[in-house]
Structure 1
Amino acid sequence: MTIIRWLCTLAVLAMPSVAAAQQDMRLDTQIFVERVMTDLNGRERRILSNADRVAPGDQLIFVVHWRNEGSNPARGFAITKAVPRGARIDTSDPRMDVSVDGGAHWGRLDQLWLPTPLGGMRRAVAEDVTHVRWPLPRSALPGESGRLSYRAIAR
């Protein structure tokens, strides 16, 4: 994936989005690149910078801020985000569900299978993930907000 395509994908993901109009949930996403630097004393330091320049192998951190802007509690809400084509998601978060088919089916990565070109089936791998979601564990009251984060590696 070219850097221009990658930046366009990141720009779309970073734009505010309103999920499920009846729920009045606002989602804002920020994307950072985590770089490891060595300071003058030889100690490793992790630095977060804007994702304006992304190279293959970069560690990406996505931060999703959510807020219930409605007047009613949001029940049964799940935060769902598309995965950029050039990213391999870290699927270690036990609260995260993933989809490898555009959001039609959800589960843990080790539960998902994909068809092969020769008519067989294979287990899905992190590179196959198209969407991620986190169900909110309870109702989000009006005005309530929170944030979650997840990691990926730029391919």
Structure 2
Amino acid sequence: MRFPIGLCTAVAALTAAPAFGAGLTVTNTVFAQQRSTAPDGTTRIALTPATRVTPGDRVVYQLAYRNGGAQPIEGLTLNNPLPDALAYRGPAQGSPAPEVSVDGKTYGPLATLKVRGADGAWHAARPEDVTHVRWRIANALPAGAAGKVAFEAVLK
């Protein structure tokens, strides 16, 4: 079964303190991972725009942000909920690791999070338990500056 990528596109919620104003733009792009074997036998991964994905396909969500305003933006946070159809796999290559959440309220490294199992006991969270990812942009984003963050997921 194939799904149009629009069915599983995550939406970035943005916060900044103080308000980020009209100058901030964020573009969320979804890429499919295409694996191929190189002549030397190694596996190469290429990213192509995802137009349709099937269960088991790996995708990369990239959030590109830019300050088009005249003032720096302080305290920028990019928070991205994962659609139910996706399972988080980790930060994308070259991207800083996001903080993750299993409930949309508490964030941290995956190894520090717990979930309540069917048996009622608390268990270590797994990548499949992640419901949100967020990045806190530590430094002020100067006027005209841009950046990118990304994570990998798989379609369930």
Fold similarity call, TM over 0.5: yes
Cα distance in structure 1, aligned partners of 2:57 and 2:81 = 19
Q: How does 1:15-34 map to 2 (within 5 A)?
A: 19-20=14-15, 22-24=19-21, 25-34=24-33
One-letter code of the match for 1:101? Answer: D
- The percent identity for this pair of structures is 26
1:1-155 equivalence runs, <5 A:
3-4=2-3, 7-10=6-9, 13=11, 19-20=14-15, 22-24=19-21, 25-38=24-37, 44-91=43-90, 95-102=97-104, 104-155=105-156
Question: Distance in 2 between the 1:113 and 1:8 partners?
Answer: 29
Q: How many residues align?
A: 148
Which protein is richer in helix relative to its size? 1
Q: By how many angstroms is 1:97 displaced? A: 0.3
**1:76: how far off?**
1.7
Alpha-carbon distance in 2 for matches of 1:6, 1:141: 33
Q: Which structure 1 segments of 5+ residues have no match?
A: none
CA distance in 2, matches of 1:149, 1:20: 17
Under a length normalisation based on structure 2, what TM-score does the superposition of the two structures give?
0.78
Work out the CA distance in 1 between the residues paired with 2:111 and 2:15: 28
TM-score (norm 1): 0.79
CA distance in 1, matches of 2:110, 2:13: 27
Q: Contact 1:18–1:27 (CA<8 Å) still a contact in 2?
A: no
